[in-house]
Structure 1
Amino acid sequence: MLQLLLDLFADAADARAPVAPMLPVSPERETAAVSNASGQPESSAQAATLKIADGPAIDLNDALLPAQFEHPRANRTIRFSHAHVAYEFKRGKRRTIGFQVGADGLTVSAPRWTPLGEVDAALREKERWIVTKLREARERHARLEAARIEWREGAEIPFLGEPVVLVIDPRQRHGRGGAVLVPGDAALPGVPTMALHIGLPQTASAEQLRDTAQAWLMRQARRLFTERLDHFAPQLGVRWQKLSLSSADTRWGSASADGSIRLNWRLIHFRQPVIDYVVVHELAHLREMNHSPRFWQHVEDILPDYAERREQLKGELVPRW
């Protein structure tokens, strides 16, 4: 029977070993510093268009109805030409007015002495940027919610870019708490061609189903990542020493000069070409602990289409657990 739980993290790497810049997950928030304490703009407003997923770019001037955005801790509002924005306003020890757009909405920070009129002027200076980022954040949140997994029999999870249906199977040969991938019916269009049979009773809770599926995915991640590290390391002329699995929300991977590699196990949801890009990226850091032109040349030597794969990685949507 396959081991249920993985050893997620190996012994900590030597704290003195240099660590390469980590490969980040797509950012959750955008920030901008837009004016100085006197209210003079530090940079001009950025003209922007809104790109809806799988749709055309839309100029904000084409919007017919004002959008509504409200931060859960909103204490001020502003009415733009195409949006009404309730935002969180904070004062502190800073020299500029700054904007931050995240999952909750817009947060504005200003020096303690800045008049509210200058804050409003700065907001209007960056109206297009703010509204665009708020719309993008809302769209991203909607996509994330659509990707949330409902842990029940018949639910689907992505594995190497393909949907896998979950089947509760108390009789499956790997026993209680185990899981095994079984080919599905490829002849039926729209039906996943793989099923993950999980050895749990029909009365199993959603948490039990989730934990067993996650343990299986992590085993597959360690197996595949090890295989790909072994495949690409000789091509780069490097040796990796240790693989750790990460569950970080903001990083896909990192590398240390002592040969330690850390990869996010959630990469197993994605297609192998995308996984290979992250693996090569981290191995290349064993040659160059930076993102210099020499570093990217090492990556390109192995993956001539790395730029395309990098964009594919940015577009991947991580399922919500």
Structure 2
Amino acid sequence: MGIVRIGQTEITYDLRRSSTASERRITVTPGHVEVVALTSDDEAEIDAFLTRKRQWLFNALRELETTTAKRAVVLRFMTGSKIPYRGRMARLTVHRHGGPHIEISYRNGFLVDLPSWVGEEDQDAVVSSEIKLWLKRRVRRDVLEIASSYGRRFGLKPRSIRVADMKTGWGACGPAGSILINWTLVFAPKAVLEYVVVHELAHLSVRSHGPDFWMYMAKLMPDFARSKGWLDQNQGSMNADLFTSTRPIIDAT
């Protein structure tokens, strides 16, 4: 690991020598700077390259810091990262294996078995995409189980139930009885997801949000107020952008 000093700022970087690279380059991603040098480069040539690129490197880090500060994201999809799931931040562990398929499991944290054919430069994008798909499948399963349970107990039978990306809102109940649930509720505690599903099921009987509706909600789910309060307080932190990784900034000689 090396250090570049720009004024009072010290920037650490990892140095990688490449026999296939045709030019030196610097790649900046959240929390990580990599310098790729030619195998023929000596320390003086690397130092000279970094000296020429000091201002660019400083500006790139400032740009990345500004971008990530504007939205909550999972910065890197690597061992030790934290993934939002059911109201908590779950630890991510990435293992490499020789099999052909990507496998994901959850037990007090996410474990991703990543095939060796996935390149290091593609790991963030691949792991992000696979975990997002896993989460969507899990929340869909949870929604159907909740709807089935309340349907049996209270005779609430929607025409259809679908889990999808929603630009606004957490759920909807159409005039024909079709229910739509926002998949990003997987980031909330399961009781909050249950509240939203029950809320939309309740609209099958009471279409408005007047006193009759909330009385009916209390009949269906007596403790709904706690989950409603959690959602009101935390809704700003739950969105699909959590899984929109920041693109690396790359500069070369």
State the TM-score, normalizing by the size of structure 2.
Answer: 0.60
Alignment partner of 1:227 out of 145, 151, 154: 145
Q: In the alignment, what sits opposite 1:283?
A: 201
Is 2:82–2:92's contact at 8 Å kept on the other side of the alignment?
A: yes
Change (3 A) 1:167 1:202: farther
C-alpha distance in 1 between matches for 2:98 and 2:112: 7
Q: Does 1:169 align with 2:95?
A: yes
- Aligned equivalents of 2:216 and 2:138: distance in 1? 27
Cα distance 1:169–1:142, how it changes in 2: closer, same or farther (>3 A)? Answer: closer
Matched-pair contact (CA < 8 Å) for 2:202–2:217? yes
Aligned residues of 1:254 and 1:261 also touching (Cα < 8 A): yes
Q: Residues 122-143 of structure 1: CA distance to partner in whole angstroms, max 9, x if unpaired?
A: xxxxxxxxxxxxxxxxxxx999
Aligned residue type for 1:300: A
Structure 2 unaligned segments of length 5 or more: list them.
Answer: 1-66, 244-253
Q: Match for residue 28 of structure 2? A: none
Q: Deviations over 1:234-256 (max 9, x none)?
A: 33321123221221232101012
2:167 pairs with 1:252: no
Amino acid at match of 1:148: V
Per-residue deviation, 1:180:
1.8
Identify the residue that residue 156 of structure 2 maps to in structure 1: 238
Separation of aligned partners in 2, 1:159 and 1:273? 13
Letter in 2 for 1:242: S
Unaligned runs of 5+ in 1: 1-140, 184-192
Q: Which residue of structure 1 aligns with residue 110 of structure 2?
A: 195
**Residues 1:303 and 1:268: Cα distance change in structure 2 (over 3 Å):** same
The aligned counterpart of 1:179 is 104
The answer (yes or no) to whether the contact 2:172–2:181 under 8 Å persists in 1 is yes
Kindly provide the CA deviation profile for residues 22-68 of structure 1, in whole angstroms up to 9, marking residues without a partner as x.
xxxxxxxxxxxxxxxxxxxxxxxxxxxxxxxxxxxxxxxxxxxxxxx
Instruction: Give the structure with the higher percent helix.
Output: 2
CA gap 1:142/1:307 in 2 versus in 1, 3 angstroms: farther
Counterpart for residue 189 of structure 1: none
1:258-277 mapped onto 2 (5 Å cutoff): 258-277=176-195
Q: Secondary structure at the match of 1:212?
A: helix
Identify the match of residue 86 of structure 2 among 149, 152, 160.
Answer: 160
What is the RMSD of the two structures over their aligned residues, measured on CA atoms? 2.5
Q: C-alpha distance in 1, partners of 2:136/2:113? A: 15
Aligned residues: 169
Contact 1:172-1:198 within 8 A present in 2 as well: no
Map of 2:212 onto structure 1: 294
Once the two structures are aligned, what percentage of the paired residues are identical? 24
